[in-house]
Each structure stands twice: as C-alpha cells, then as structure tokens.
Amino acid sequence: MKRILTIQDISCVGKCSLTVALPIVSAAQIETCVLPTAVLSTHTQFQGFTFCDLTKEIAPIEAHWLKERISFDAIYTGYLGSFEQIDLVEKLIDDFKTDDNLIFVDPVMGDAGKLYVGFDQAFADRMASFCSKADVIVPNLTEASFMLHMPYVETGYDEKYIDDLLEQLLGLGAKVAVLTGVSFEKGQLGVVGIDSRTGRKFSYFRDELEGRYHGTGDVFASAALAALIRERSLRDAFAIAADFVAESIQATLDNPESRRYGVDFETALPSFVKNFA
C-alpha cells in the first residue's frame, strides 16, 4: 500500500484541511499519515475561532520519523499558518524527498479575489517561493494572482490569459501547474494544467453548479493527489477530482448550512472509490 503524508491544520468543525484529506485519501486505499500544524475550533471563516499553534512539534516529529527511516510516496501540503511553518515544512520536504516521491503543494491562502484572515502579500510571496519545492501545485485564480502579483480577474479572460498565468506559475519552479476554478464561458467551470516536462497542457470542464462552498478546494486537492498516487494520468486525476467535487456539491445543494460548514463529500465517496476498485 502506498503511504503519503499530509501537512495542514485540523479545523475541528467546518469540513476542510485534515478532516477532508484523511477520509478522502484513505478511501482511495492509500495510507494517510498526518502532520497537524494547528488545531482550530473551526476554520477561519467563522467568527471567534480558537487557534492552537503546533509549530514547535514539527521538528521533533520529523526527527523521530527520520530516526525510524519512515518514507512517504507523497507529501501533500495545504493550509500553512506562518512563515516559520513554511520554513520547517520546506526542510522536511528536503529531508524526505526521493527520486520517486511526489511533492504536491496546494498553496491555500484565499478565494474569490481575497486572502483568508491572517494572510497578506508577504505571505503569498513566501508561498510562491515554497512552490519551487513542488512537483505539482494547484492554486486557484486568487492564489495564483497573489503569488504572481497580477490583478485578480474574475471573469471575461481568455485562454491566452490562463496560458500566461500557467507559464508564470511554472516559473516559480514547480514541474506541473494546475489552475482551478477556471471559466472561459458562462456556465462552464474547470481546471487547466501544464506539465513543464512535456510542455503538454490538459484541461477538464463541467457544467458549473450554483454557489460557492467552503472547503471544496481541499476536497479537490485531496482527491487529485489520491488519484495521482493511484497512478492515474494528470488529466484523469484532475477529472476524477472535479467530478468528485461536483457530486459533493450536488449532494449539498439543499443543505443551507453548507456554505460555511463545507460540502457533503461523504455522500460522494462511494462513487469516488469506484475509480480505484
């Protein structure tokens, strides 16, 4: 069985980060090790959340794993809360990188043109330099815009604009860049990616579903990472992830709390796992 490590926070309520990565990656029959970077009472879109920073645990946990000669087929990072955490995770990646394992970075920082609470342009710049460690990066348009110092364009852009963003994202040093939440025509939403090793582009679009839901980026990244580790091609892995997110949203449409609480990806897990039967 493949073994991956995911490094992100655990938000106790509000399905995102570790509470979605763990069930989704495990459901694809992959051992899912975790390095929680912080414990929050909820994710940061709620008011008054608690935040227990676990930064000081990272180095001793890593030292123990090195001593035990533990290895990972992938390291998947999501929400990281501080510059210091990025420094430590960068070191961990250097120590656990092999010729074969996959470094998958979701530079979680914002959505809909805005950074999440607690992040600023300097943090986006640090995240951009962190992306040089990655084999695959999966920013949304907001995160890409901040990392590249480009104005956020919500709609009305063309393929050339996205190609240009992808080229600039590769310039950060990742081997594969995938932009999520791309829409060239009203009613269609999808992903466009580029593999610098072949120069090949890939994309996958679906009919857009109503509304914005919290945590879908984490559901998407977890499913894509799982499919890549289960040896699906880039295009197939991202299509599987997009279908899974769409089915999760479908399952949530009549749940009025979901915008904050996250999508009911649990309902969509049975068809997701069929991809790996």
Using rule CB under 6 A, residue 7 touches ligand PXL: no
Which 3-state string (H, E, C) describes the chain? CCEEEEEEEEEEECCCCHHHHHHHHHHCCCEEEEEEEEEEEECCCCCCCCEEECHHHHHHHHHHHHHCCCCCCEEEECCCCCHHHHHHHHHHHHHHCCCCCEEEECCCCEECCEECCCCCHHHHHHHHHHHHHCCEECCEHHHHHHHHCCCCCCCCCCHHHHHHHHHHHHCCCCCEEEEEEECCCCCEEEEEEEECCCCEEEEEEEECCCCCCCCHHHHHHHHHHHHHHCCCCHHHHHHHHHHHHHHHHHHHCCCCCHHHHCCCHHHHHHHHHHCCC
Contacting residue, 4, 5, 16, 176, with ligand PXL by CB under 6 A: 16
* Beta carbon of residue 177, minimum distance to ligand PXL (angstroms, whole number): 19
24 binding ligand PXL? (CB under 6 A) = no
In the complex, what is the shortest distance from the CB of residue 255 to ligand PXL, in angstroms, rounded to a whole number?
17
Between residues 34 and 171, which has the closer beta carbon with respect to ligand PXL? 34
Q: Using the rule CB under 6 A, is 15 a contact of ligand PXL?
A: no
**Residue window 210-249: x/- pattern of binding to ligand PXL, with contact defined by CB under 6 A:** -----x-xx-------------------------------
Query: Which residue number, 203 or 258, has a Cβ lying nearer to ligand PXL?
Result: 258
Residue of the chain from 96, 116, 157, 184 that contacts ligand PXL (CB under 6 A): 116
142 binds ligand PXL (CB under 6 A): no
Residues that bind ligand PXL (CB under 6 A): 9, 11, 16-17, 40, 43-45, 79, 108, 116, 215, 217-218
